[in-house]
Chain A
Amino acid sequence: MAKQTTIVGEKALMKRLAGLASKASRNRIARPAIGAAASAINKKAKSIVVEESGLQRKSLGVKRGTNTRGPFAVVGPRHGFKQQVERTMPSGYRSYVMSDPTKYAHLIEFGTSHSSPQPFLRPAYDGTDSKGIIARRMQAGLRKEAQNRSGSFKADKGDVKALRGLDK
């Protein structure tokens, strides 16, 4: 026996879902999610980075942005931290030298032919559940976005007629 099902408000629902899929809406939801994951990686990197003067730890930070492919975040040493710090020189004496973490952070992370790596970014990335953080934050963002949109929802005349028809 065939049964007929009527979906009331289908057009409005599809329109609202299509609205959620807009680029602006997607970016609005994804931006804080990616930022939160990057902050977690940054926090972990700061906790494991090797420390001599503390300059590199201080320079670690998150840069957020949006390009044509969508929102992104970069974790690493930032510019603007070049300063004189006290370091132990190869001779064994301590001396003040000009240091810029953006010029040497990669050498610490990856090592060189004469110094072993002391990685801080890759272990932080590997040890952080960044995908989980993004998924949870995007889920919450999507829910919030859908709730915000429901305020402007208006049933069209066809929906009202269909609902009246169901009451009879």
Chain B
Amino acid sequence: MNVAAIGLDGQEKAPETLVEMCSVRLGEALFGVPITHILEIVGSARPQPVPLAPPFVGGLVHYRGDVLTTVSLRHLLGLPPKDGHQDILVLEGADGCYGLLVDAVGEVLTVSTADHEPNPSILDERRRDVFAGAYKLKDSLLVMLNADRLDPMRLGGAHAA
């Protein structure tokens, strides 16, 4: 019985899957977004500020004939804004595409779902809202971003409320 149970346990661990995450850098920290969520990466853009816009809006960029609203990840995490060029992840939102403004886009990392841990309880409210746990890398953590929570439509609603 015991042996069988262990065997079952072992089998449960076996279907662990490998997923690809796009890593992005914000200051010193490393964050991840599942690459399946990303439509495109726009390098070194300089968003145009929008006066009177909600503070989380990082500005507008020109993207494939359209005007893309961007969300500043720095603002969401309460970091000071960064001057100069930034990279943009184009993500799909409820109201069409939007851009996520990050300092720099890094390499694509392959991680195992087995290494995933949920958000720790000591995390502050602001971060718990947009983080989706973390993957344990060899000598650091890849903090996952919850792409659904970054949608400007949702942020706009939260902002208004």
Partners in one complex: no
Q: Name A residues whose Cβ lies closer than 8 Å to a Cβ of B.
A: none
